[in-house]
């Protein structure tokens, strides 16, 4: 019976802690993102967009804890555990890379926490592996690449060389492109995630006789590839989703990307009130143009705030219903959730242009309206 006082003490401590958390009354958000290395540009943009929306809302009851995952799954898993177990966050968000999302999201939602994805949308989490507490505010991975395939058809390409890194989003990208592209595939290559030398792949493109190159190489990978491609003298036209031609990449690549068409759910020249205000305030606060990733981070925070306005996270069912309503003014205009908590949205075609000294994108058309993903049918919540 000597244990009893100790047990009582432990119980008391726990109760006190729980009471403390209750009395705090605020919402704790863990933002776990890639903030160093070759993928840092993406994570920094998501973070900055997210924090900008929180700041503009003027709400002091939302506490955001920012953590770097270094694009390493083991680091991400440990950091997520710490955020959930010791920081006691209510909502987790921020992951850029799908292999990290696959390592973190299932255990997060299994512990009853909410996960709002500002970027990664692996197919495994959109279909049979969907979860009522997992919301994707960006896209299912395939979607933008499907639009790229449709765009390749429109441009009359018949024979594409396709390449992407060997990780869940890379495989989804190739699958998405092939689903819509009606021409032949000259060759399909998967590269290492984080690869920086593409000499061998470029040699194979040169020899392939393809009339177009579809590639998905986000962040630093895309910068290396585009610079080396421009230097190689290969002149097969490039096509891809926005990731390979986004603001962060264009700054480093410059002229080599000029005129390339790419597909996205957002562009800085999208004409709606929410987006005009977002672009102006982002540029003012951070001194650079927002990217696709920044808009996704911003929208994710808007969604969170819109749901918190209706219900606290502690009332999980009401909070979930509020999230499902997606009652916020998205920077991309129309936005609603499909049955698998992934977006139904319009995908645009953009072209890389030069505005003054700055390389950026301009919308030139629409690739798909009310685009959804094929995996929603397999999702049983």
Partner 1 sequence: MTFLLIEQVLNGLQLGVMLFLISAGLTLVFGVMGLINLAHGSLYMVGAFAAAAVAAYTGSYLMGIIASMIAAAVAGVLIETLVIRRLYGRDHLDQVLATFALILIFSEGTRMVFGSFPLYLSIPALIAGPVTLPGGLQYPLFRLVLIAVGVAVAVGLYLLITRTRLGIQIQAGEADREMIDALGVDISKLYTFVFALGAGLAGLAGALVGTIQSVQVGMGEPVLITAFVVIVIGGIGSIRGAFVGALLVGLTDTLGAFLLPKATEVLFASADIGSVLSSMLIYILMAVVLVLRPTGLFGGTT
**Cβ distance to partner 1 smaller for residue 130 or 223:** 223
35 vs 368, which CB is nearer to partner 1? 35
* 76 contributes a contact to partner 1 by CB under 8 A: no
Residue with tokens 């399909």: 188
Candidates 31-39, 78-86, 262-270, 365-373 — which segment interacts with partner 1 by CB under 8 A? 31-39
Contact range with partner 1 by CB under 8 A, out of 37-45, 105-113, 117-125, 236-244: 37-45
Helices (H), 210-343: 220-232, 247-253, 273-286, 292-310, 316-325
| Distance in angstroms (rounded) separating the CA atoms of residues 284 and 205 | 41
Nearer to partner 1, 11 or 207 (CB): 207
Is residue 204 within the footprint of partner 1 (CB under 8 A)? yes
Q: Supply the DSSP string of 198-220, one letter for each residue.
A: -HHHHHHHHHH--SEEEE---TH
State in Å, rounded, how far the first CA of the chain is from the last one. Answer: 47
| Contact residue for partner 1 among 17, 85, 111, 196 (CB under 8 A) | 196
* Whether 210 contacts 161, CB under 8 Å: yes
CB of 40 to partner 1, least distance (A): 5
Sign of CA dihedral 230, 233, 238, 240: negative
Residues from 172 through 191 that contact partner 1 (CB under 8 A): 190
Could you tell me if 168 and 122 are in contact, meaning their C-beta atoms sit under 8 angstroms apart? Answer: yes
Q: Which stretch binds partner 1 (CB under 8 A): 34-42, 54-62, 259-267, 353-361?
A: 34-42
DSSP state of 25: -
- Nearer CB in complex with partner 1: 42/260: 42
Under rule CB under 8 A, residue 44 binds partner 1: yes
Contact 261, 239 (CB under 8 A): yes
CB under 8 Å to 286, separation ≥6 — which residues?
48, 52
Q: Which of 232, 281, 306, 339 binds partner 1 (CB under 8 A)?
A: 232
Of 59-67, 80-88, 198-206, 327-335, the window that binds partner 1 (rule: CB under 8 A) is 198-206
HSE toward the beta carbon, residue 230, CA cutoff 13 A:
13
Smaller CB distance to partner 1: residue 10 or 203? 203
- Is there a contact between 342 and 139 (Cβ–Cβ < 8 Å)? yes
82 contacts partner 1 (rule: CB under 8 A): no
Is there binding between residue 289 and partner 1 (CB under 8 A)?
A: no
Q: Which of 30, 41, 49, 240 binds partner 1 (CB under 8 A)?
A: 41
Check binding of 258 to partner 1 (CB under 8 A). Answer: no
Binding flag, residue 159, partner 1 (CB under 8 A) = no
Helices H / strands E in the chain, number of each: 12, 13
> How many residues interact with partner 1 (rule CB under 8 A)?
28
d(CA 343, CA 336): 6
Q: Answer yes or no whether residue 231 interacts with partner 1 by CB under 8 A.
A: yes
Q: Is 30 in the site for partner 1 (CB under 8 A)?
A: no
Q: Give the angle subtended at the CA of 95 by the CAs of 92 and 97, to the nearest 5°.
A: 155
Candidate segments 59-67, 111-119, 227-235, 285-293, binder of partner 1 by CB under 8 A? 227-235
Q: Are 199 and 222 in contact, with CB atoms under 8 Å apart?
A: no
The dihedral formed by the CA atoms of 340, 48, 90 and 337, expressed in degrees to the nearest 10 = -20
Of 188, 167, 200, the C-alpha closest to 71 is 167
The residue (of 13 and 200) whose beta carbon lies closer to partner 1 is 200
Q: State which of residues 132, 158, 227, 310 lies at the interface with partner 1 (CB under 8 A).
A: 227
Q: Which is nearer to partner 1, 45 or 299 (CB)?
A: 45
Give contact residues for partner 1 (rule: CB under 8 A): 35-38, 40-41, 44, 166, 190, 192, 196-197, 199-200, 203-204, 206-207, 220, 223-224, 227-228, 231-234, 252
């Amino acid at each position: 019976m000597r244990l009893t006082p100790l047990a009582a003490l432990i119980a008391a401590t726990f109760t006190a802690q729980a009471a403390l958390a209750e009395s705090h009354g605020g919402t704790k958000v863990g933002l776990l993102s890639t903030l160093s290395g070759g993928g840092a540009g993406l994570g920094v943009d998501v973070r900055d967009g997210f924090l900008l929306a929180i700041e503009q809302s003027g709400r002091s009851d939302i506490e955001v804890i920012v953590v770097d995952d270094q694009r390493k799954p083991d680091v991400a898993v440990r950091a997520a555990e710490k955020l959930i177990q010791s920081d006691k966050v209510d909502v987790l968000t921020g992951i850029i890379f799908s292999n990290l999302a696959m390592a973190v999201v299932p255990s997060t939602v299994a512990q009853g926490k909410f996960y709002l994805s500002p970027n990664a949308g692996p197919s495994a989490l959109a279909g049979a592996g969907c979860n009522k507490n997992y919301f994707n505010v960006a896209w299912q991975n395939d979607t933008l690449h499907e639009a790229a395939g449709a765009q390749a058809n429109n441009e009359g390409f018949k024979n594409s060389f396709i390449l992407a890194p060997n990780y869940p989003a890379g495989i989804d990208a190739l699958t998405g492109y092939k689903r819509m592209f009606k021409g032949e595939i000259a060759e399909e290559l998967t590269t290492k995630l984080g690869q920086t030398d593409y000499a061998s792949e470029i040699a194979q493109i040169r020899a392939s006789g393809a009339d177009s190159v579809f590639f998905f190489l986000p962040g630093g990978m895309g910068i290396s590839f585009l610079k080396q491609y421009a230097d190689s003298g290969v002149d097969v036209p490039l096509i891809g989703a926005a990731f390979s031609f986004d603001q962060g990449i264009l700054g480093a690549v410059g002229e080599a990307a000029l005129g390339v068409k790419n597909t996205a759910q957002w562009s800085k020249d999208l004409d709606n009130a929410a987006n005009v205000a977002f672009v102006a305030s982002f540029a003012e606060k951070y001194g650079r143009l927002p990217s696709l990733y920044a808009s996704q981070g911003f929208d994710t925070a808007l969604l969170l705030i819109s749901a918190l306005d209706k219900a606290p996270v502690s009332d999980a069912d009401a909070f979930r219903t509020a999230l499902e309503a997606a009652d916020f003014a998205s920077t991309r205009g129309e936005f609603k959730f499909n049955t698998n908590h992934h977006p139904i949205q319009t995908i645009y075609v953009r072209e890389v242009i030069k505005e003054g000294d700055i390389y950026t994108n301009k919308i030139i058309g629409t690739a798909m309206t009310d685009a959804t993903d094929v995996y929603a049918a397999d999702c049983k919540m």
